[in-house]
Structure 1
């Protein structure tokens, strides 16, 4: 009798799982399928074909997929390859506290390119993938102007503090913060537009808003050390680099596929004004699948007229880590990171680091997040292309998640007696 086992059956999304099929004829082609229903009822699914060994077994840690959505030995491939039934949707967990994603795994004892609705699998399993560990608290934040959600690990603490931000989609995304709290960080998921009573669209950026958020987190009784870390992607990484440059509360910064200058929206901080480098929408490329690539729409910050828009990151108190996918089709992020590192070194700042991941695209997210090449944006009439290749991108997510945590742990721990 065919069996399908998964271990563990309940886990955090950034943890690997072990999948095995057994009780099958030897050297037989089988089909493994995974699917889930997101919070809006949309189906995401993946498929891979395998050949059983002489004992009628398949072990995804050893057995290569012969085809389907990927091939080769890839233990987490069925999770990485989850794709929407309706094109251009992105799988995002919104309610991190309320429920997990329930992923259905199915085994078919033959090659099934498209199982009919009445075709029953020979074995099934359902596993839970959570975005929050037991004991983690979520606290809605409305302090002064600051809006977001604070995630606190279980235990007495105090814990290293991190401000976590996303990019141009706006709103409040919490899944990275909840996972950071599950790994021991007090993480503030910070919104900065299109949420609650914040502006619907991102206009000129007031850095004092982000300073208020940093001061709030620094002063929290469960936050340790003399400063906080910042983790951000895309437009949020631009905000993070500005915070690192000008705010003394920021002890370490991780910029994921961001830029080295202020773009589009000008940035103010008291009397300081950095004018944003204009976007050039006429340079947007339309790909052969009808999606937009925005890489060329951002101008070269090395042009003389843009010199006052470049962020002087050499002023930053703490170290800065750029995590970059070299196949990013949303930002020319590798170029921007190299420019930032070069400037820092010219000014004698030696603690700016660049980690580039070949084959990775723009959306470098925690492990377990499916690869998303293209998705719809609320601010564009056509979907956006993020870039990357499935296996190299998802392997980069596993590696960069570890690098990110090690960097933060190394650089934002300290004595509460020295807290700002």
Structure 2
């Protein structure tokens, strides 16, 4: 008899843990579901607390390098013992005020200068949400599985000619618009999330080798990626879109200027000039490198440096050979710049590109400007990163941005990018049939 009772009790315990309940009356729910896409908002609700009870809400996640990120905020239940993060303000903690997704974007590591590494699209971003009485006693917990790759999206590593990348294809026959995702270093996050929205996306990194070993870059290698997408049987768009940030952004500008078939270019917090190494195309150098002046690096108390002012002026006579001739581009641009970008003067570069296009009688651009956002604009709801190790400099740098404003900018930008790409890359079913 006692053996049967033990089994019943253990079953009950299992059930309560799965449903996110630690104490019989407190319920923590994630709506509409505890399983969602990485870039989807959720509603966090607690019920079964005492009237006006004060609790701390926590979130915790471990990245691909094993670094733990966490956040905590204090909330007061209403008269019915309920908390709704869409409605109720945080009183103190990692953020204050009404921030429905605050527990996610405010997660930080215990040590400084850590970026949340989530580059593998096959593993979900798992976040443990919990409710605590005081600091210690846990009342309820539930796991949020935030998927990078949705149902039916396929992932295929690609090695063709000089090109190395990962291809993400939506379910179904298409036709789909095609996008080249250019990241500075290999990352699948943005590409896989775009594929969930109905784009065929090829993720390609600018640097596949250690940056110190890269003495020159060849635009031909990236043209191979554009050609690959145009020839894909599920692609129906007339041309290809490009999404890029940082060093990837000046490569994207160069593709738009020199390579036919680029219809839409999203440039996020980049330069208007070719940064760091010479750029070649068809066996000749087309752009000289814009270099850094290390004497203008600013060191901060945290140990991280500010490199924004150390980039040489691309408009100075001796540096003009590094400027990308974007007036040659046939497609449209979406320029996205953060005013508080501490990596480089993205807003200044954007303004100069707008002036350049206007001087040449062009109006093929849109601009978006975020006053208090920093350099690392990414798909929304990941942990905000104010500083981290710079992949090209082997020092920690300040990226800039105020957490609340930066998080809001990411939500706005992500929607804007999808609208822009969709509007510029109209699909034609007859094109895909012709390829088949």
TM-score, structure 2 normalization: 0.90
Uncovered stretches (5+) of structure 1, i.e. residues with no partner: 113-118
SS in 2 for 1:306: helix
Write the deviation string for residues 28-74 of structure 1: whole angstroms up to 9, x where unpaired. Answer: 32100000122332211001111111222111000011110101100
1:138 is matched with: 155
* In 2: Cα distance, 1:199 partner to 1:374 partner: 20
* In 2: Cα distance, 1:417 partner to 1:33 partner: 52
Give yes or no for contact 1:66–1:72 (8 Å, CA) kept in 2: yes
1:106 is matched with: 130
Give yes or no for contact 1:194–1:200 (8 Å, CA) kept in 2: no
Give yes or no for contact 2:180–2:243 (8 Å, CA) kept in 1: yes
1:115 is matched with: none
2:204 is matched with: 190
SS in 2 for 1:360: coil
* In 2: Cα distance, 1:309 partner to 1:83 partner: 38
Q: Would you tell me which structure has more helix in proportion to its own residues?
A: 2
Deviation larger for 289-298 or 300-309: 300-309
The ranges of structure 1 where at least 4 consecutive aligned residues each deviate by more than 4 angstroms after the TM superposition are 416-420
Give yes or no for contact 1:338–1:354 (8 Å, CA) kept in 2: no
* In 1: Cα distance, 2:29 partner to 2:337 partner: 36
1:227-306 → structure 2 map (5 Å cutoff): 227-270=239-282, 271-306=284-319
Which one of the candidate residues 403, 415, 419 is aligned to 2:416? 403
2:16 is matched with: none
Distance apart, 1:282 and its partner CA: 1.8
SS in 2 for 1:262: coil
Which one of the candidate residues 141, 145, 156 is aligned to 1:128? 145
* In 2: Cα distance, 1:90 partner to 1:386 partner: 11
Distance apart, 1:378 and its partner CA: 4.2
Which one of the candidate residues 56, 60, 63 is aligned to 2:88? 63
Which one of the candidate residues 173, 190, 209 is aligned to 2:187? 173
1:219 is matched with: 231
1:208 is matched with: 220
Distance apart, 1:284 and its partner CA: 1.1
Q: Does 1:18 align with 2:43?
A: yes
* In 1: Cα distance, 2:320 partner to 2:361 partner: 19
Deviation larger for 302-311 or 321-330: 302-311
1:153-164 → structure 2 map (5 Å cutoff): 153-164=170-181
Deviation larger for 48-57 or 233-242: 48-57
Which one of the candidate residues 139, 143, 149 is aligned to 2:166? 149
Distance apart, 1:247 and its partner CA: 0.9
Q: Does 1:2 align with 2:26?
A: yes
Give yes or no for contact 2:176–2:427 (8 Å, CA) kept in 1: no
Q: Does 1:41 align with 2:62?
A: no
* In 2: Cα distance, 1:89 partner to 1:199 partner: 20
Write the deviation string for residues 351-400 of structure 1: whole angstroms up to 9, x where unpaired. Answer: 11210012110010001121100112344343111110111001100000
Uncovered stretches (5+) of structure 2, i.e. residues with no partner: 1-24
* In 2: Cα distance, 1:273 partner to 1:96 partner: 35
* In 2: Cα distance, 1:357 partner to 1:364 partner: 10
1:29 is matched with: 54
Give yes or no for contact 1:161–1:185 (8 Å, CA) kept in 2: yes
2:17 is matched with: none
Deviation larger for 49-58 or 340-349: 49-58
Between the two proteins, the alignment pairs up a number of residues equal to: 407
SS in 2 for 1:122: strand
Which one of the candidate residues 334, 339, 343 is aligned to 1:321? 334
Give yes or no for contact 2:236–2:431 (8 Å, CA) kept in 1: no
CA 1:124–1:418: 2 relative to 1, 3 Å: closer
Distance apart, 1:175 and its partner CA: 0.6
Write the deviation string for residues 135-166 of structure 1: whole angstroms up to 9, x where unpaired. Answer: 11011110111001000011111210000011
Q: CA RMSD in A?
A: 1.7
* In 2: Cα distance, 1:409 partner to 1:378 partner: 32
Distance apart, 1:261 and its partner CA: 1.1
Give yes or no for contact 2:334–2:368 (8 Å, CA) kept in 1: yes
* In 1: Cα distance, 2:402 partner to 2:38 partner: 20
Higher Rg of the two aligned structures: 2
Give yes or no for contact 2:74–2:93 (8 Å, CA) kept in 1: yes
SS in 2 for 1:121: strand
* In 2: Cα distance, 1:126 partner to 1:362 partner: 30
